[in-house]
Structures are given as structure tokens and as C-alpha cells.
A and B are shown apart, each in its own frame.
Chain A
Amino acid sequence: MAASLLIAAILTIFIIWTFFPIYWMFSTSIKSALEVFNISPELFPKNPTLEHYYALDKGSIKVSVFLKNSIITGLGTVILAMFLALFAGYALSRFRFRMKKFISLGILTTQMFPLVVLLIPLYLLYKRLNLLNSYIGLILSFTSFTLPFSIWMLKGFIDSIPIELEESAIIDGCSKLQILFHIVTPLIVPGLVATMVFAFLDAWNNLLFPLMLVTRPSMKTLPPGMVLAFAGEFKHNWGGMMATSVIVSLPVVVVFVTMQKYLVQGLTAGAVKG
């Protein structure tokens, strides 16, 4: 009895600890400006209002522009990463060639590199190639960082398909492309969904690349947009900051909660089982 009370107490504390910050973000975003600056903050907003949300699109810096850029680059990354990872994952799973092991482990290693280190040379390269302030430049950089994990995850999913299915297709005279799209793809839908969701989350959350590779405010995505919007004199615009935070987090949380089954499957396949 005492033990289960203790367990209940620990669980309650853990749940409050986990969810209170999220609740606080949301509740601040719907408090009036006056209430936000109350020295002893109220747990529940007295007069809920959407004024902070409306204000996000009034000033010279419009959050909706960042949102649009985030959606475009996010979807672009999803499409590009899925195709590249599907082909590469299939090659690493099924083809036999020299240096295969080296390339496989090399791909896995690249995801460990710190993004900050890449920034200066990448900035100089993008400048030469005219890729600064462009969607394509951002999509390429997001994709490269989501690829290692996606490739490994899809390789894991393809490894688990019995090869006999493909062998009989070869005998029937199918090409590699036909095999990939007609036989393999339908069997790894959970893996593809997980790849797409992770690619989207990676692109959506990335701060450093768009912070440095985009100099024009109208091309910034949400994370560097937040840095821009809440710097200097707007540093203490907590209501606006929390409203933006809700907008940035909401799609991620919704996608995560609805797709969770696929994600956990993909995550454990990619990160734990290799």
C-alpha cells in the first residue's frame, strides 16, 4: 500500500514536471499583455485572449512568412530525403560491392558531426553557387542531415524483407526499379512514413543552417525567425514569444502523437537495432 502510494506520488510529480512547461507556454500565449507581466503570475489566464496571435502578423516582421518558408522547405526536404534514402537504403541492403561496409559506417558517422563546424565553409560555398537565401539551398542542407538516419532506418526495414520475393521477380524479368517500386516499397510503408516524419521534424527544428545561410528576413524559417523577432527591444515580449512557440510546436506535436506508432518502430529499428 505504502509502496503503491509512493509510486503514484512519483508518477504524479513526473507528469507535472513533463507537462507543466508545455501548459505554461500555452497559457501565457493566451494571457493579456497586462497579465503576462504580473509579478506573481496566475496559474490560469483570467481573460483568455488571442491578441498575441493576432499581433504576430501586424509588425514589420511577420511570423506567417516564416511559417510559409518552414512549410515549403519542410515538404521539400520530406520529398527529397525520402527518394534519396529509399534508393540508397536499397543499395546498401541488397547490392554487394567493394567498400560497402566503409560507406555504410561512413554514412552513419556523418550524422554525428557538429553543424556549427560546417557553417563557415558552407556559407562560402553557397555564396559562390548562389544558393544563399534560396529554398533549394535550405532543402539540400536539411536533407543532408536527415539522410544518414533515414538511410539506415530504411536499410533496416528492407533487410527484414525476405529476399526470395525479389528473386522470383528477377526471374520474371523485372528491372531493379520495378522491384523497388512494386515489391519493396509497399512492404516498407511504416519505414517510409517514419522517414518522412523524421525528415520533416529535422527540417522544421533546424536553427543553425537557416540562421547563417539565409540573410534576408523574408526567406527565414520559423526557428531563425524567432531569433529575429525576439531580439533587442522585443526580448521581453513573452506573450508574443510564447504564441510563436505554440505555433512552432503544434505541428510537431500533432504529427508526433498521430504518427507515434511508426516513429517508435522506426526509431528502435534505426537507432537500436542498427
Chain B
Amino acid sequence: MKKIMDSPDSKSEFKLGRKLKTGARAVVTLTSFLGPALSVMGIVILYPIVEGARLSLFSYKLTRPSDVGFSWFDNYNYMISDAVFWEAMQNTFVFTGCVVGISCLVGLIMALLLQRPLIIFKFLRGIVLIPWVIPGIVIGYLFLYMFDFEIGIINNMLVQSGLIRKALPWLADRELAMVAIIIAHVWNQTPFFLLMFTAGLMSIPEEALEAAYLEGSSSWQEFRYVVFAYLKKIMVIATLLMVIRNFNNFPVIYAMTGGGPSFSTTTAVIYIYRVAFERFDIGYASAIGTIWVLILLTLSIIYTRFLKDEF
């Protein structure tokens, strides 16, 4: 039973009847405040994860509904020898590493350049965030259109400017498709880093910068020691958050390539989706899902550790 200690009425402690009553009331209050939110999250998030872990121990294919049976760790054994699973893992890391790395770097540079007290820069800082709020499915279709082989504006511009001789089959080529989905996500996520770094830069006290000036430090040294010291924490937190985000990213890739050609842009979550809804292998999809949840759980524990230091 949960115990509440903020009872306003501490004098009643020796009156047993009264104490029980306040205690019970406090539990009711707590349950009615916290209960509804926790039950919604329990039903939609927690239950499916536990149930998914259970299903991962079954041989369960929708194509053969009569053949459902407990199969111990068969799905996990299959995973280890499944080359596509490892390809998907590799894709996830390459994709996430490139997207987060590039977005973070560009976001930092732009935040520093836009860090001027002019109205125009304030205005710009506001509207450059727009790509970040565009829905994923729209980003996917927009870049699908722009990367189109025949009428896409990207091929058109590259050919006209003489950078390439012939149109590139962006989404039909294994490597180029990966480059294309990375570009689309960088476009979407750079503004987030820009926002975070701008907030971080604003929290640097004037005195810290002035002190650096008085000591006659050059611009780079000032940046290296003063600004970077303040931005480091935000950088770690924003980067971790975005790594987790990209590990789970679905709509843009789904709309642009669907994970293809073959499996070249299939990340972990796209693979789970394809196994479940193209191969209808519920047991195996659940096994990959369970492993993926464990990986994300580890990451988010690290993330919350960093957040806790902020308190």
C-alpha cells in the first residue's frame, strides 16, 4: 500500500481512528490523481510489451493459424543466424549515426551564427524550426517526390548545374537510397538541435563570457572553454534523445523506400514491421521487438541518469 506523508494534520497522529481515515483518504487521493494516467499507459504501452515478450516464445504465423505452439527460444536462435536481422542492425546504426552527427553539427554552427540580438535573427530562429514540426509522413512523400528519378527537382538541379552528367536513381540504388533517407531526416532534425543549442547559449551568463574576454582569450579559446562547457550537457541530452528517436523512426523511411531496395534501408523497426505484416510471422517479429525494447530500455536508463544530474 502506498503511504502518504504530507498529511497536513500531524497532531492527529496519536488518534488511531483519525489517522486511519486520513491515511485511507490520502491513498484514495493519490490513486485518483495518478491512477487514470498510469492505467492508460499500462493498457497501451506496458501490456503490449509484456504480451510481446510472451509471443516471442511462440511459433506463431498468421499464414498457418492452426500451427501456433510454444517453441522456447527458437525465434531467438533464428535471429542470431538471420543475416537480414544483422543487416537491419547495421543499417540502424549507420542511419542514426549519420543523421544525429550531421544534424548536431549543423545545428550547433547555425545556433552560433544566429546568436545575435538583431530582430531578423530572432525571427529566423523562430521559423527555421518549421521542418521539425512537419509530420513524418509528409516529409517522406515530399522527399520521395524530390528524389524522383524522372521529374524530381534534386536530379534536375544536379544535372543542370553540371554536378552530375546523368540523373541518379536515388531510391532504387542501395547506397543512394540510404543517403536519401539520411538527407530527409537531417533536414527534419537540424532545427531541433538548433533550438536546443540556442536555449543553451542563452543560459550562458554574460559574466562568464566577459571574464574570458578580460583574460584576453581569442575567439576560439573562448568558445572552446566557456561556451562548450555550457553546451556540453545539452549536447549529450539532445543527442541521446535523438539517438532514441531515430532508433524508432518509422514514417519517413516507410513512405520513401519502405525499407528497400531489398533490405538496404531496412532499420530495426522497419524490419519488425516487415516481418509482422509482410511475412506475417508474429512470433519472430515479437522476438526482434523484445530485443529492441531491451536496447532502448538501456539507452533510456542512461538518458534519465543524465537528466537526473540536472536536478
- Comparing B73-81, B139-147, B220-228, the segment that makes contact with chain A is B139-147
| Chain B positions within 8 Å of A271 at CB level | 196, 237-238, 241
Name A124-175 residues within 8 Å CB distance of B. Answer: 124-125, 140-141, 143-145, 147-148, 151, 170
CB-based A-B contact count at 8 angstroms: 265
Contact in complex: A108, B304 (CB < 8 Å): yes
Q: Per-residue 0/1 for B37-50: is the Cβ within 8 Å of any A Cβ (1 yes, 0 no)?
A: 11011011111110
Contact partner of B196 among A85, A87, A272, CB < 8 A?
A272
Quick check: is B93 within 8 A (CB to CB) of the other chain? Answer: no
Q: Which residue of A lies closest to B25 (CB)?
A: A176
Q: Which residues of B contact A96 (CB under 8 A)?
A: 4-6
What size tier do the contact residues of chain A reach?
35 or more
Using a Cβ–Cβ cut-off of 8 Å, how many residues does chain B contribute to the interface with A?
A: 96
Q: Judging by beta carbons under 8 Å apart, are B52 and A117 in contact?
A: yes
Contacting pair B52 A120 (CB below 8 A): yes
Decide yes or no whether A114 CB sits under 8 A from chain B. yes
| Binary flags per residue of A79-119, CB closer than 8 Å to B gives 1, else 0 | 01001110110111011111100010101111011111111
A207–B146 CB distance below 8 A: no
Question: Chain B nearest CB: distance from A80 CB in Å?
Answer: 8
Say if the beta carbon of A63 comes within 8 Å of chain B. Answer: no
- Is A253 an interface residue, CB under 8 A from the partner? yes
Selected contact of B4 from candidates A18, A95, A222, A230, CB within 8 Å: A95
Contact among A108, A118, A207, A223 with B45 in the assembled complex (CB-CB below 8 Å): A118
B170 touches A (CB below 8 Å): no
Is B134 a contact partner of A14 (Cβ separation < 8 A)? Answer: no
Q: Which residues of chain B have a CB within 8 Å of any CB of chain A?
A: 2-6, 8, 29-30, 32-34, 36-38, 40-41, 43-49, 51-52, 55, 106, 109-110, 113-114, 124, 126-131, 133-138, 141-143, 145-146, 148, 150-151, 153, 156, 160, 187, 190-191, 195-196, 199-200, 234, 237-238, 241, 244, 247-248, 250-251, 254-255, 268-269, 272-273, 276, 282, 285-286, 289-290, 292-293, 296-297, 299-301, 303-304, 307-308, 310-311
Q: List 25 A-B contacts (CB under 8 A).
A: A11-B114, A15-B124, A18-B131, A22-B130, A36-B151, A37-B151, A84-B37, A108-B307, A112-B244, A113-B49, A114-B269, A116-B272, A117-B272, A117-B292, A119-B276, A120-B48, A120-B52, A120-B55, A121-B51, A125-B43, A141-B44, A249-B134, A260-B129, A264-B199, A274-B308
Give 7 closest A-B pairs by Cβ, nearest first. Answer: A144-B44, A117-B289, A121-B51, A121-B48, A88-B37, A118-B48, A91-B33
Known: A112-B300, A223-B136, A249-B134. 20 other contacts (CB 8 A): A11-B114, A14-B110, A22-B131, A40-B156, A87-B37, A97-B30, A112-B297, A116-B273, A117-B293, A120-B48, A121-B49, A125-B51, A141-B44, A201-B133, A207-B136, A226-B141, A260-B126, A260-B129, A271-B238, A272-B199
